[in-house]
């Protein structure tokens, strides 16, 4: 953590990521607005999926923040490792 407390390191990590996430979102939104193919994606099921995934991502980030505050962020490593194994197998 280069001398940072885990919670502070997590906070800086999110500050670094936010411009990239925002740029990716805006690029995708621009494509959806400007192209006929993009218009085909805008359905009620897409909007519902977007809302559910946003809520679940927020809850997941809150869990990671809580783990960082409790100095148990290493538990998150098991989760990401499991996802990596599943991804490689599939």
List pLDDT tens digits, range 29-82: 999 999 998 888 889 999 999 999 999 999 998 998 898 888 888 888 898 999
Q: Is residue 69 part of a domain?
A: yes
Burial of 76 (0-12, 13-18, 19+ CB in 10 A): middle
Tokens 């990671």, residue located: 64
- Look at residue 54 in the predicted model and tell me its pLDDT: 92
Q: Is residue 1 part of a domain?
A: no
Provide the domain count of the chain: 1
Dist CA 57 CA 51 (whole Å): 10
* Average of per-residue pLDDT across 23-28: 94
pTM for the model = 0.70
CA dihedral 17, 58, 66, 11 (to 10 degrees): 20
Name the residue range of residue 43's domain: 6-89
Who's near 68: CB < 8 A, 6+ residues apart? 6, 7, 9, 10
Q: In this structure, are residues 10 and 68 in contact, taking their beta carbons and an 8 Å threshold?
A: yes
């Amino acid at each position: 953590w280069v001398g940072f407390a885990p919670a502070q390191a997590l906070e800086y990590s999110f500050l670094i990521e936010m411009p990239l996430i925002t740029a990716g979102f805006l690029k995708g939104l621009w494509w959806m607005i400007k192209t006929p193919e993009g218009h085909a994606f805008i359905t009620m099921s897409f909007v519902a999926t977007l809302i559910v995934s946003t809520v679940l991502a927020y809850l997941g980030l809150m869990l990671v923040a809580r783990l960082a505050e409790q100095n148990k962020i290493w538990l998150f490593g098991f989760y990401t490792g499991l996802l990596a194994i599943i991804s490689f197998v599939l």
